Every structure is written in C-alpha cells, then in structure tokens.
Structure 1
Amino acid sequence: MLFGAQVFGAFADNALRNATIVAIIAAATVSVGEDFYFFGDLANEAGTIVSIGFTLPIFAFAMISGQMADRVPRHVMARRLKFLELILMSLAALWFFLGQALPLVLTLALMGAQTAFFQPVRFALMPQYFPPSRLARANGIMQAGTFIAIVTGLGLGGYYFEVENGRMIVSAMLVGAAVIGWLLAIRLPEAPPPGREPINWNIPAVAWRYFREAGKTPGVLWPILANGYFWLVGAFLLAHMPIFMRDQLGGTNQDYALLNAFFALGAGLGSIIAGVLAPKLKEPKQMSAVALMVGMAALIGVYFYTRVPFTGEFQLFGPAGYPLMTLFIISSAANGVFAVPMLASFQANAPKAISARIMGVANMTNGLFATVGAILASVFRNAGIDPAQMFLVMVAMGGSVLMIMFWRFRMFRGQHVGAEGT
C-alpha cells in the first residue's frame, strides 16, 4: 500500500511539473493574454521556476513534518496527506485545463509543501514495515517504482500536452492518480509514532539540533548529504533539459518530455540493480563510488556527442537520438545505483526514537539541494555556459562528491586500523 501511494503520487507530481514546463515554454512567443502566458522572457526559465516552486517548500517545511511524524500515528498522517494531495491535484488539473500558468505554479508550490510532509512519513514507515535485512531491497524496489512513475509522469505529462484534447487527458491523469493514491493510503497498516515530544516551531533551532543528532550516529549525516546531491542533479537536469533540447538539439517539446522520461527510466533501472546487489556486498557505499564514476563518464560522452549543435530535424527515435538516449540511460542508472545504498544507510542507522525527524533532516537537505540545483542551472546558463558544457559542470560537481567520498573512506579506514592497533 505504501508503495502504491508513493508511486501514484510521484506520477502525478512529475506529470504536472513537466506538463507545466512544456506548456509555459511553448507559450513563450505568444502575446499577453494567451493560454499559459508567464511574464514574457521569464517563460524561458520555466524549468528553474517550476523546480524552485516545488522544492523550496520541501526545504521550508521538512523539519516541522519530521517532528509531526514522530508524534502523530504515521499511517493516519499518510492518509490525510494523500487526501490533501487529491484536493490540490484537482485544483491543479483545473488550472491546467483552463491554461492559467501563474495559479498553476502556485498550486505546484502547495504540492511541494504536501510532499514535504509526506516524504518523512514515507521514509520513517520503511524501517517500520521492513526489517533491516530487507530494507535495502525494499528501498531499491520503492526507488525503482518511484522512478518508473517519474518516467511515466514526465513522458505522458509533456507528450500529451501537444496532442488533441491533451489538456483534458493530462487533467484526468492527475486526478485519477491522486484518487488511486488516496485509496491505497487508507489501507496502510497501523504504524504508531515512537514518541510524544512536543513540536518545536523554531525551524532553524530544530534543524541545527537534528543535524547535530544525525552527525553523532555513524552512517547517517554523510549519506543524507550524498542523497541530497542526487536531488541536486535531478533538479539541475529538469531545469536545463528544455533549453538543451531546444537550442542544442533542435528537438520538439515531445522529444524533451521523452528524453526526460528515459533519464528517469535509467534511474529506476539503477535502483533495481542497487537493490539486488547492495545486500550481497560488504560495503555497498563502494558501489556508490563506482556508480558515480560511471555516471560522470557517460555525461562526458553526452558533452562530446552534443558539443556542436545539431542541424536539420532531430529525431529522438532515430540514428542521432539512439546514442544520446543510451548515454542518458547509463548516466541515470549510475545515479540510481549511487543513491540507494545512501538512502538505506541513513534509514537503517537513524535512532528509532527520532527516526522521522532524521528523515525530516534528509527531506530538508533534499529540498535545499534541489532548489540549489535549479538555481545553478539558471546561473550557469546566464553566465554564458552553453547547453552542452552544462554537462561538464555536472561532471565537476560529481568529481567533488567523489573526492569527499574517498576522503571519508580513507579517514574511516585510518580510524578502523587505529582501533585495531589499540
């Protein structure tokens, strides 16, 4: 039931986000008053604006939601949040059908707030429903299902916008997915909270406190930060891909939607691979480091393949498109392999009494990193970095993460050897 509630929510979120981005960019050249008009030149930044509008509330509300999930019965909280999702998705579907961009973006921000409250509950329920021996595999399946939902949402949301009766189709998909997610959530098994500590509304103080708590427990804080990097990459790509498809490849909005979908598909495949392999490995985080290097190599391949803008008609399902899809799938699969051991690490190692609040720390980190990723895409683009060179920027970011991982591994090994010597 938790799997289904998460998957249908992810589908609806991403169908709405991608359809909104495609609709606003497609309307960028029309006059004021037309459908999906969004402040003239700002429409070209639709990927960044939509991403920030969705992820910034996740950052803002994550710590309050984590505290609530440690105080309120988690299955009850999940049910109520899914009902709220149904209301918001119905409202968003109405704005999309009417072609109103600004109310649509504002409703997306409210969906980000709903996600901020649901994700700590979902993260905290995983170790409550699954024993530690099955947690990595369960996370792999959950991540894979989520990415398959993201694939479908990104693809269908962007694709159906431009077909006949597309608005009606997208609106119906949003409401239908929200209804199914709510119906599944009301069947979640009981999951009582671990404590009754009063909620502290001083968000900065709470965040600092639980970041420190996360740092005290091995295998929690650094995996949370690594998982945040995964979100940063995703937001960076979502903000960058429309411009990359338009300016470097000369493709259509439907090509953009499908390419995003293939990227998410690769991440889902990587999550399945990690879920199968991680329980069999002595140190799954080493697998994350190898996956990060593979992903960086694939992005370098994307740069060399697209560094010269394509001329003529670009077809994603054609000789020019197949190598690009392959590179994206390899890169995103590597990202999926990278993320799953990190996610399993902080879920399994978080102190049980404050596990949802630690998940709130993770969610706050994810929201912050995703917001930064969307902003960086706009900053680098306006600084003159061309669409192909943006992938080298991502490689540089991945290289920084890899250096930190090697530093942490060497430090841990030195401490372990020192302890054996004593």
Structure 2
Amino acid sequence: MGRFWSVFTAQTLGAFADNCLRNAAIVAIIATVGAGSSDTPFYFFGDLAKEAGTIVSVGFTLPIFLFAMVSGQLADRLPRHVMARRLKFLELILMSLAALWFFLGQALPLVLTLAVMGAQTAFFQPVRFALMPQYFPPERLARANGIMQAGTFIAIVTGLGLGGYFFMVEGGRLIVSVMLIGAAVIGALAATRLPPAPPPGREKVDWNILGVAWRYTVEAGKVPGVLWPILANGYFWLVGALLLAHMPIFMLTQLNGSEQDYALLNAVFALGAGIGSIIAGLLAPRLRDPKFMSGIALGVGMAALIGVYLYTRTPFEGSFELFGARGVPLVLLFVVASAANGVFAVPMLASFQANAPKPISARIMGVANMVNGLFATVGAILATVFRRLGADPAEMFLVLAGMGACVLIIMVWRYRRYQSADARGL
C-alpha cells in the first residue's frame, strides 16, 4: 500500500495545486473586466479578460498536447520513479514562481508560468499512468484507478473551491500562494518514497514530435482495447475543459451570479466527478464488462445536461445564490452530470492501462496524454468559438449533450460490430 499512497499523494496534491492556481487566476483576471488602468492587479488587456477561462485553460493544456509523446518515450527509457521525483521537484520550483506572480497580482507572467507548468504535467502524467500497471496487477488496477481518480477529483474540488474563495477574502493572495507552495513541497516529498520502477526498454528518443505521435497512435490502434478507450477518455477531458472555460460567462450572464458562485459551481462539478469515480471504482471489478456501465453513465449524463439547458435557458433575474432556492436544482443536475462523466471515464482509463503492452506502456500513456491535451485544448477553444458565434450560454449544455450522444452511438456501433464478429467466429 505504501507505493499506492506515494503515487496518490504526488498526483492529488499536484492536481490540487494546479486547479487552485488555475481557478484563482481565472477569477482574478475576470474580476478586472472593465478596468481602465493597467495598474489594476491582474489586469489582462482590457476586455480580453472575459476570455480568461479559455486563455488559462489553453495555456495549460496545449503544452500537454505538444510534449506528451516525448515524455512517453522518456518514461519507457528512464527509471520511472527517478523521473517522477525530478519532475515533482521541478513542479516545486514552478509552483513557487507562480505563487510569487499570483501574490504580486501579475497576470501575464502568471499565465506564462501556467503554460510551463502544463509542460511539466505533460512529462509527469505518462509516468504516473505507467506506474499504476507496474505497481498493481490487472485484477486490482480498476479499483486502484477508481480510488486514484476519486482522490484526484476531490483534490480538484478542493483546489477549485479554495482558489476561488480565498481570492475574495482579505489577505487571500498570500493564503493561496502559501497553499500552492505547501502542496508542492509535500508532493515532492511523497515522490521521494516511490519504489523502484525500472523502464521496460532502452530505445533512443525520437524528437520528431509529429512523426512519433503518428507512429505510436497507429501502434496503439493495433492493440485491442487501447485506442478507442484513449479517445473516450479524451472526451472526458474535453467536457471538463469546455466547462471550465464556459462557466465564468454562464454564471455571470445567464445566472446573474458572482465570481464566488462560479468558483463554487466548478467545485460542485468536480465533486460530482469524484463521486462518479468512487462508484466506478467499486462497481467495475464486479462487472463482466465495465464498458456497459460507461454507456449507461453517458446516457444519464446527457439527460442531466439537457436538464441544465431547460432549467437555465431563460436568463435568471435578480440576486442569485448557488445554494439558494433557485440554485439547488442546478447543483443537483450538475452533480448528476459530472458523476456520470466520472463513471464513464474510469473503465476507459483502466482498459487502455491494462491492455497497453509493457515494453511500450509509457508511450501508449503518452498517446493518451497527447489526446487528453488535444481534446482539452479543443474544448477550451470551443467555449469561446460558440460564444463568438452568438450561442446562448445555456445552449452550450445542449451542445454537450449532443456530443455525448455521438460518443454513445460510436460505442453501440463498436459493440455490435464485435458481437457480429464473434458470431461469425472471427
């Protein structure tokens, strides 16, 4: 169990710090909308501050997409426990620098530092993904992943909530900065306790990012139970990034809420995803085919998103409180939608982790990380594109439900295809 808690602590505290900083940065920059002076703390090019959700999200996720394949190769060549330790130490340096910019109220350097932190995440995630099947046998992997995902989402919830909340209170910038550095210190210490995890291969690293990405994506497609679950897991990231980028405008213009309501609503969404991950982690080992659970969860999530659209399609007037009479139904819908998304993702993650061939497992995880970064970047950009096209903020949830329907249709089509192949004895 010691190895699990070492990975768990390093992963969850990193997720806490990342999301605490990202949400605090988004809230801080959005609060400057309309500010006429560049001397205002967190001033970010005037009205461009309205797109803080997209800018911060893309700045963090685009480097994940760009560097994922190189990081996957390195994790197949270098001792994984050593690589994890060095990356967590680098995270400590970067988080300390980001905490300084946040304390000083410097938006542009903060966003740039977040982009470098995205690159650090790109190198850490394939290592973390590859360590799980190396530390745990297949029969324990789904449960370990479920607990890991649940802990990660709880960390995300806490980070989103505290980052957005403490920015609003007196001395909040100092409190957030101290939390960021403290989490990075503990995460780095936890990484020093990771058991040895030797690499499965010693192939030379190919720095042709596009060529490597294509080659290993094709290779992943040849392994049953790998590429399609990777794409499905990427859809989970797309939804999360789109909502993170969309929530500020949705809260402020459609619900007439505050920046604090926005921070709490993001926390509610992440909490639901954590609940869903716990449910999936408990149920998946008992099911013959956990992907059925993913399909059902996708349908439930679509229904909840349609419910959000129907409930909010008419802009709210007057004061709004997230946990008031009008806010509670919305909170419940978001919890159901995000829990369903968490249930959907866990079996997909366990599938490609368990089926990835060990000699190239980290590179397969690099493909997964690349897809996650790409989908998250696309999701954040889509939030701005739909708004620029004049879409009503509530309509975004109808769009998400439609995207979920497309994913469900693909899942059903692939299931029937494999059923037909089995019937023919293929």
If the TM-score is normalised by the length of the shorter chain, which range does it land in? over 0.9
Q: Percent identity?
A: 77
Q: What amino acid is aligned across from residue 230 of structure 1 in structure 2?
A: F
Cα distance in 1 for partners of 2:47, 2:196 equals: 50
Q: What amino acid is aligned across from residue 67 of structure 2 in structure 1?
A: F
Q: What amino acid is aligned across from residue 11 of structure 2 in structure 1?
A: Q
- Give 1:341-360 correspondences, 5 Å limit: 341-360=347-366
Q: What amino acid is aligned across from residue 255 of structure 2 in structure 1?
A: L
CA RMSD of aligned residues (A): 0.6
Query: In the alignment, which of 1, 4, 14 is matched to residue 19 of structure 2?
Result: 14
> What secondary structure, in the 3-state scheme, does the structure 1 residue paired with 2:425 have?
helix
Query: In the alignment, which of 12, 20, 30 is matched to residue 25 of structure 1?
Result: 30
Cα distance in 2 for partners of 1:39, 1:399 equals: 38
- After superposition, give the CA deviation of every residue in 1:33-71 in whole Å (9 maximum; x if it has no partner): 211111111100000000000000000000000000000
Q: What amino acid is aligned across from residue 27 of structure 1 in structure 2?
A: T
Is 1:80 aligned with 2:86?
yes
Is 1:226 aligned with 2:222?
no
Deviation, structure 1 residue 282: 0.8
> What secondary structure, in the 3-state scheme, does the structure 2 residue paired with 1:33 have?
coil
> What secondary structure, in the 3-state scheme, does the structure 2 residue paired with 1:316 have?
coil
Instruction: Indicate the residue corresponding to 2:296 in structure 1.
Output: 290
- Give 1:326-405 correspondences, 5 Å limit: 326-405=332-411
Instruction: Indicate the residue corresponding to 1:104 in structure 2.
Output: 110
Q: What amino acid is aligned across from residue 24 of structure 1 in structure 2?
A: I
- Give 1:236-315 correspondences, 5 Å limit: 236-315=242-321
Is 1:210 aligned with 2:216?
yes
Q: Give structure 1 stretches of 5+ with no counterpart.
A: none
Q: Give structure 2 stretches of 5+ with no counterpart.
A: 1-5
Instruction: Indicate the residue corresponding to 2:101 in structure 1.
Output: 95
Is 1:198 aligned with 2:198?
no
Q: What amino acid is aligned across from residue 9 of structure 2 in structure 1?
A: G
- After superposition, give the CA deviation of every residue in 1:281-300 in whole Å (9 maximum; x if it has no partner): 11111110100000000001
Cα distance in 2 for partners of 1:418, 1:330 equals: 40
Deviation, structure 1 residue 270: 0.3
Cα distance in 2 for partners of 1:376, 1:418 equals: 42
Query: In the alignment, which of 280, 302, 322 is matched to residue 316 of structure 1?
Result: 322
Cα distance in 1 for partners of 2:170, 2:46 equals: 26
Q: What amino acid is aligned across from residue 184 of structure 2 in structure 1?
A: A
Deviation, structure 1 residue 213: 1.0
Instruction: Indicate the residue corresponding to 1:59 in structure 2.
Output: 65
Cα distance in 2 for partners of 1:305, 1:23 equals: 28
Cα distance in 2 for partners of 1:403, 1:317 equals: 35
Runs of 4 or more above 6 Å deviation: none
Is 1:152 aligned with 2:165?
no
Instruction: Indicate the residue corresponding to 1:132 in structure 2.
Output: 138
> What secondary structure, in the 3-state scheme, does the structure 1 residue paired with 2:424 have?
helix
Cα distance in 2 for partners of 1:276, 1:25 equals: 39
Cα distance in 2 for partners of 1:120, 1:348 equals: 14
Cα distance in 1 for partners of 2:305, 2:321 equals: 20
Query: In the alignment, which of 115, 121, 135 is matched to residue 121 of structure 2?
Result: 115
Q: What amino acid is aligned across from residue 62 of structure 1 in structure 2?
A: A
Cα distance in 1 for partners of 2:371, 2:288 equals: 27
Q: What amino acid is aligned across from residue 304 of structure 2 in structure 1?
A: A
- After superposition, give the CA deviation of every residue in 1:148-205 in whole Å (9 maximum; x if it has no partner): 0000000000111010100000001100100010010011111000010000011111
Cα distance in 2 for partners of 1:416, 1:361 equals: 29
Deviation, structure 1 residue 30: 1.3
- After superposition, give the CA deviation of every residue in 1:297-348 in whole Å (9 maximum; x if it has no partner): 0001101111111111101121111111100000000000000000000000
Q: What is the TM-score when the length of structure 1 is the normalising length? A: 0.99
> What secondary structure, in the 3-state scheme, does the structure 1 residue paired with 2:207 have?
coil
